[in-house]
DNA sequence: GTCCGCATGTAAGAAGTTACATGATTCT
DNA sequence: AGAATCATGTAACTTCTTACATGCGGAC
């Protein structure tokens, strides 16, 4: 369902696009929000067209198909945004590793936390490169802000957890 | 893979347990970290036993099977904790909704953000009920702290986004 | 004795990943 | 002519969700 919504959202916000275009947008503007490769996107677009949510507006070179959102599609998107209360499906490899890290020897646990911290810092830098959400406009702004805060929070958590682990001398 | 790791982690940390016990632990101690129902857990346990990572240590009443982690299982768990760098698979319905919310009319977007804020506050209360991670011991402590910080961050984000939306009068 | 919680499973389908496969166009 | 990029698809497999199905044991 969410993939479908993401595609409808992109078509609604940026206008007609091909599967290829949409795949690129997943790699760029949607990268920190939702993930999907072309092998998932192409079949989904076909199903959405069959369901009347989008239509092939034009066919370009190399068999390129340009999809447009239909009124039905806009409806479905609107209904989801207004009516769907998203659940934070708790399935995070990072949290799982954090959960289990205390099973390790203290030095090993420390190394794991340090590695995580480095990952978070890298992620934070990447998101900050995308621009300052306060000065940005349009759709994507709130999500970028959320991503940056998330990364910052994670760096802080890792820093404090490392300090805690060192202070306790591993006596968790 | 991660489900397997989570199961190995529980067996390693809390000792022998049945599929039923493990399912309960997913509902309680692991609830904010990883999600899985019994219909996923039972077949996975069978596969893990076939792979030699766990064994049936005893059979109790009602066909209850008590699994224990084997040295091979401990090995696999250790290797994952030390060697696997978890990727933050970006797939969050919440971020997606935040991303697309500016497509809505301002009042509608506001309602969506308010609803999210309420959800985060509820989640924060739930996690705080589980105890103060600073005073807690053992495995699970760091993950709980992470969860609480996450929820707090999200409440702050929603609050600020609502204020921003109100200030801009919807002129995103 | 019947209801509730314990306890285990299967099946069908949706969603996501990785790899395979193919052909057109543009650039050098 | 060859390489890179555009552009679309399929297939096999893993993971996850929802629903169906069954039976034991203890409490009242």
Q: What is the pLDDT of residues A55-98, one digit of tens each?
A: 998 888 788 999 999 999 999 999 999 999 998 788 999 999 99
| Closest Cα in chain A to B149 | A153
The CA R_g of chain A, rounded to the nearest whole Å, is 21
B46 CA: nearest nucleotide by C1' = C9
| Spacing of B28 CA from D27 C1' in Å | 26
pLDDT at residue number A171: 59
Name the protein residue, with chain letter, whose CA is nearest the C1' of D23. B62
Question: A138 pLDDT band (50/70/90 cuts)?
Answer: confident
Instruction: Locate A147 and state its tokens.
Output: 């991503």
CA B3/CA B110 separation, integer angstroms: 37
Inform me whether the pLDDT recorded for B41 exceeds 80. Answer: yes
pLDDT at residue number A87: 85
* CA A136 to each of CA A57, A130, B43, B114, B172: distance values in angstroms, whole numbers, following the listed order: 31, 10, 48, 21, 9
Task: Tell me which residue of B155, B147, B153, B148 sits closest to B33, measured CA to CA.
Answer: B147
Residue B101 CB neighbours (<10 A) = 25
CA B93/CA B33 separation, integer angstroms: 16
- Within 8 A of A150 by CB-CB distance, chain B residues are 150, 153
Inform me whether the pLDDT recorded for A112 exceeds 90. Answer: yes
**How many angstroms separate the CA of residue A124 from the nearest CA in chain B?**
12
pLDDT at residue number B171: 59
B59 CA: nearest nucleotide by C1' = C7
Inform me whether the pLDDT recorded for A123 exceeds 60. Answer: yes
**How many angstroms separate the CA of residue A170 from the nearest CA in chain B?**
10
CA B22/CA A143 separation, integer angstroms: 35
Contact A139 B81 (CB under 8 A): no
CA B166/CA A172 separation, integer angstroms: 46
* DSSP strand pairing (B65-69 vs A54-59): unpaired
Q: Is the dihedral of CA A34, A35, A41, A43 positive or negative?
A: negative
The length of chain A, given as a count of residues: 172
Across the interface, of A35, A85, A145, the residue whose CB is closest to B89 is A35
| Closest Cα in chain B to A108 | B82
| Spacing of B38 CA from C5 C1' in Å | 15
- Within 8 A of B113 by CB-CB distance, chain A residues are 142
Best A7, A36, A95 member to test B by mutation, with max B CBs in 10 Å, is A95
Residues A16, A57: contact at Cβ < 8 Å?
Answer: yes
Best A1, A92, A161 member to test B by mutation, with max B CBs in 10 Å, is A92
Dihedral over alpha carbons A18, A21, A25, A27 (to 10 degrees): 120
pLDDT at residue number B91: 92
Angle at A118 between CA A111 and CA B30, to 5 degrees: 65
Residue A92 beta carbon within 7 A of nucleic strand C = no
Q: What backbone torsions phi and psi does residue A83 show, to the nearest 5 degrees?
A: -105, -15
Inform me whether the pLDDT recorded for A50 exceeds 80. Answer: yes
Query: At what angle are helices B93-100 and A141-167 packed, to 10 degrees?
Result: 140
């Amino acid at each position: 369902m969410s993939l479908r919504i993401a595609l409808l959202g992109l078509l609604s916000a940026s206008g007609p696009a091909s599967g290829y275009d949409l795949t690129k947008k997943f790699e760029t503007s949607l990268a920190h929000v939702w993930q999907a490769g072309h092998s998932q996107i192409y079949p989904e677009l076909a199903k959405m067209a069959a369901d009347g949510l989008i239509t092939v507006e034009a066919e370009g070179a190399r068999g390129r198909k340009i999809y447009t959102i239909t009124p039905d599609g806009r409806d479905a998107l609107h209904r989801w945004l207004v009516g769907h209360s998203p659940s934070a499906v708790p399935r995070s490899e990072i949290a799982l590793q954090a959960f289990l890290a205390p099973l390790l020897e203290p030095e090993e646990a420390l190394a794991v936390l340090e590695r995580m911290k480095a990952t978070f810092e890298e992620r934070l830098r990447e998101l900050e490169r995308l621009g300052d959400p306060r000065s940005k406009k349009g759709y994507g702004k709130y999500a970028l802000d959320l991503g940056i805060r998330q990364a910052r929070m994670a760096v802080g958590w890792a820093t404090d957890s490392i300090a805690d682990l060192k202070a306790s001398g591993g006596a968790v």
